[in-house]
Copies of this chain bind each other. A is one copy, B any other.
Amino acid sequence: MTEPRWLNADERRAWLALLSINTLLPAALDNQLHTAGKVSLFDYNVMAMLSEAEGRFLPMSQLAARTSSSLSRLSHVVAKLEKRGWLERRPHPRDARVTTAHLSDVGMATLEALAPGHVEAVRTKFLDALTERDVNDLARIGEKIVARLDDDHWILRETESRP
């Protein structure tokens, strides 16, 4: 049983900052989205990911990967959004195990109505605090951390060349 390596000053600063961001930033963005349209940040993201997909639909498991969520959490949320008429679930034609979530026209319209306020909030709460160089550094560092947590996370494949 060897003595653990405690955090040095910079490590502690980085960790505490990340921890704070982690609770403050989602809260701030949730807040804006909730007052603008009774939607959580996660709800928004689910719809945004669908809106960017080919045909505006994705299998549940791929949608879960794109939102970094568990299938269980996603299932509950999709059920909620479906009740509001923003999404529709359909069985996959070739594989009866998979369900695909489709963004409806109403859902797309809702998303488009919410989008400007949301990106504006992302800017004012977060990006506006940073220089261009900071943003670049953060993207690089952030992706390293994501890779450590999930080495084939989809965001790592977005721009990368495939073999």
Binding site for B on A (CB under 8 A): 4-7, 9-11, 13-26, 28, 45, 67-69, 115-116, 119-120, 122-123, 125-130, 132, 134-150, 153, 155, 158-159
B residues in contact with A158, CB < 8 Å: 13
Oligomer: number of copies: 2
A23 and B148 contacting across the interface, CB-CB below 8 Å: no
A138 B14 Cβ-Cβ under 8 A: yes
Assuming the A-B contacts A127-B11, A148-B129, are A18 and B20 also in contact, with contact meaning beta carbons closer than 8 angstroms in the complex? no
Question: Is the contact region of chain A dominated by helix, strand, or loop, or is it mixed?
Answer: helix
Q: How distant is the Cα of A147 from the Cα of B45 in the complex, in angstroms?
A: 25
A21 CB contacts on chain B under 8 angstroms: 18, 22, 142, 145-146, 149
Complex: A22 Cα to B6 Cα, angstroms? 23
